[in-house]
Structure 1
Amino acid sequence: MKAREFEQKKAEQWREYDSQMQLLESPKKGQDLDAEQIPQMIRERCQELSIARHRMYGEAVCEFLNQQVIRGHKVLARSSGGFVEKTLHFFSQEFPQVMRREWKLHILCWLFFLIPLFGMWISIHYDLDWVRSILGSDGMAGMDSMYGKGEEANLDMRDETGANFMMFGHYVHNNIGIDFQIIAGGILAGVGSLFILLMNGLGIGGAMAYVIEYGDPVKFFTFVSGHAPYELTGMVVAGMAGMRIGLGLLNPGRMSRGRALLESGKRGLPLVYGAFILTFMAACVEGFWSAHSFTPWIKYTVGFVGWALLILYFVFAGRGKREA
């Protein structure tokens, strides 16, 4: 094939490539952009450049194709934006898309948390020893002091300067520490993550059951309702990240286990970010809202709204054609 014939055969593909590049390079990308075909089109230009050089089709053709390859490389390799843009992209698209993609792990982790939680709640009606074994005497005494019947809960001690921020720092340290443990448990083939979720379910379920049976449930639920959506979801998302790491070790495929661990870590990284962000949000609510004495219906409304917003966010965010 001569150079002229080569140019005539490829002319239509080059025009289509040029139009797609113009859409990508414009500030406002058009709706006609076929993003899925862009990498294939760039590979085709690379192959054509190699053929043109091998067959010595001339400087003009080789230089034209070289510029087209450079143009495509710039589009693929250019910066994805600054910190603000990347953060907005993560919240609006990447995180909810990953949550939907890992829906099986989402359900599994919730089950490992909720089944022991409700199991402890049910068990207290038959045998208090289960709750005693989980909480211990110190834990039950703590529940009595904070949520006991006929006594003021020792929660709203925020009159001192900086007390809200002090409690916020405490909750960040404590809850993110739990998330780290859950994620790190994924190294044990995911079993560690599930075990820590199960133990947290037992602990929270035992505390909830004890207060409902022997304390003042209104004090308990008005305190936890505001931050529970973010704290519990963050804990479950951390479990998903740990399980993703564990599954990479269990099923490395054709990769070495070290390489599989690295790849599964990359895949689970959005879940790690999401877990810490949700836990940070929970600490903000717990530190600056939960302990204040608003009426119960306001506290419960804030909690229900939090759950509803999380569900809507994970179900609908990032579903547009361009986002996908």
Structure 2
Amino acid sequence: MDVDVFVAAHRQEWDRLAQLLRRGRRLSGAETDELVSLYQRTATHLSQLQSWAPDPAVVNRLTTLVARARSVVVGTRRATWRDALHYFTAGFPAACYRTRAWWVPTALVFILATAGIGAWIAGSPEVQASIGAPDELREMTRPGGGYESYYSSSPAAAFSFQVWTNNMVVAGISLTLGVFLGIPVLWVLLQNAMNVGTGVGLMAAADRLDVFLGLILPHGLLELTAVFIAAGVGLRLGWTVIDPGRLTRGAALAREGRAALGMVIGLTLILLISGLIEGLVTPSSLPTWARIGIGVAVETAFLAYVLILGRRAVRAGETGDVTAGDREDELPVAA
């Protein structure tokens, strides 16, 4: 395509559309019909340019024109309680279910890596010595020591908020930086596996692994599931850069990026629940079986929510992306 010839052929249409979009201008019925027609044609021109000859200056101008025209033609829409209900009953579980092929293997690899690190530390006095002095390790692993006192080191509300914000940073890094080929996501997972594996190894070496699991499982099941989902979505986003499928790379990244950012609200709520469990249930005086039982019940409920509602929503065509009315226009163009 010769961009200059294309621009010359359609410039008058674009100028006329810009004229009709001037603020404060009241349009007649005929002018409104003309605006809709020009909007549709300009959207087609934009698709053609993006597919054949993506000249930045022309594409930027048409993108702005199409966006302005769309806001006039379609109008603005306010979010309602129905949107929130749809998000939590269809959008969010569908996004989790659709990415299960990424976060389920991520969870399995994480568990194996954590167990391997823990076994390595527990069976090697040399590795333990590199982590800390004997007195420091005894202080960390003794009854009432560092690992146990950590969960009651602050008031429950403040501790829950601190845990929640820390976990949101981890999830946010995975969701937003996954586009860099997933490398930041893998780094975050490795750091978390090393931290958890170190606790497993040191407490196992002190013959107190049961105590450690009783402290981490009540909240850790849901918390780590949320982290795995965020990591899986981030890795999927990174893979989209490599293999966008049948869509253009820009369109594929836009779709997956919107779905990833859309999961922030749902994961924020899930991590808030796990933070409340960590602040209120984990350090409580409940017996270990009761604390772990609460964690297992909440985790089971969440997985059922994802697998049942998510599967149903995906079968109904839900992807976790924003609604069709809120997406940019993508008209088919013959190659």
- Partners of 1:146 and 1:154 within 8 A in 2: no
Deviation, structure 1 residue 81: 5.5
- 2:222 maps to 230
Matched residue, 1:216? 208
CA distance in 2, matches of 1:146, 1:130: 16
- State whether residues 93 and 305 of structure 2, in contact with CA within 8 Å, keep that contact through their aligned partners in structure 1: yes
Which residue in 1 is equivalent to 2:12?
none
Per-residue deviation, 1:264: 2.5
Cα distance change, pair 185–323 in 1 and its aligned pair in 2 (3 A): closer
Query: Counterpart of 2:149 in structure 1: which amino acid?
Result: N
Q: Show the counterpart of 2:332.
A: none
1:233 Cα deviation (Å)? 0.7
User: Which aligned pairs between 1:1-324 and structure 2 lie closer than 5 A?
Assistant: 82=80, 84-130=81-127, 136-137=131-132, 144-145=138-139, 147-149=141-143, 153-155=148-150, 157=152, 163-214=155-206, 216-252=208-244, 260-318=252-310, 319=312
Do the aligned partners of 1:230 and 1:282 also contact (CA within 8 Å) in 2? yes
Contact 2:151/2:278 (<8 A) preserved: no
**Could you tell me how far 1:80 is from its partner in structure 2?**
8.1
How far 1:216 moved relative to its partner?
2.7
Shift in Å at residue 257 of structure 1? 5.3
Instruction: Call closer, same or farther: CA 1:89–1:182 in 2, change over 3 Å.
Output: same
Tell me if the contact between 2:100 and 2:232 (Cα under 8 Å) persists in the aligned partners.
no
Q: Rg bigger for which structure?
A: 1
Question: For residue 56 of structure 1, what is the aligned residue in structure 2?
Answer: none
The 3 A distance-change label for structure 1 pair 126 and 235 is same
d(CA) in 2 for partners of 1:256, 1:293: 56
1:290 is paired with a residue of what secondary structure?
coil
Residue identity over aligned pairs, in percent, reads 21
Structure 1 counterpart of 2:61: none
Task: Please give the secondary structure, in 2, of the residue aligned with 1:246.
Answer: helix
Distance, in Å, in 1 between the alignment partners of 2:170 and 2:249 is 26
Structure 2 distance, partners of 1:255, 1:278, is 32
Structure 1 residues 163 and 257: CA distance shift in structure 2, 3 A? same
Q: Within 2, Cα distance between the matches of 1:290 and 1:261?
A: 40
CA separation of 1:131/1:253 partners in 2, compared to 1, >3 Å: closer, same or farther? Answer: farther
* Post-superposition offset of 1:208: 1.5
For residue 154 of structure 1, what is the amino acid of its counterpart?
Answer: S
The one-letter code sitting in structure 2 at the alignment partner of 1:95 is F
1:221 and 1:130 mapped to 2: Cα distance? 21
Could you tell me whether the CA contact under 8 Å between 2:128 and 2:202 is conserved in 1?
A: yes
Structure 1 unmatched runs, 5+: 1-45, 47-75
Shift of 1:171: 0.8
Structure 2 gap segments, 5+ residues each: 1-35, 37-73, 319-335
Measured against aligned partners, the alpha-carbon deviations of 1:212-241 in whole angstroms (never above 9, x if no partner) come to: 221533432232222112210111111022
Cα deviation code 1:11-42 (max 9, x no counterpart): xxxxxxxxxxxxxxxxxxxxxxxxxxxxxxxx
Residue 298 (structure 1) shift? 1.0
Give the alignment's TM-score, normalised by structure 1: 0.64
What is the TM-score of this pair, normalised by structure 2?
0.62
- The 3-state SS of whatever aligns with 1:154 is helix
CA distance in 2, matches of 1:148, 1:280: 30
Given that residues 120 and 209 in structure 1 are in contact (C-alpha distance below 8 angstroms), is that contact kept between their aligned partners in structure 2? yes
**Residues 132 and 277 from structure 1, CA distance in 2 versus in 1: closer, same or farther, beyond 3 angstroms?**
farther
State the Cα RMSD in Å: 3.7
3-state SS in 2 of match to 1:124: helix
Q: Shift of residue 98 of structure 1?
A: 1.7
Provide closer, same or farther for how the CA distance between residues 266 and 290 of structure 1 changes in structure 2, counting only shifts above 3 A.
Answer: same
Q: Distance in 2 between matches of 1:172 and 1:267?
A: 22
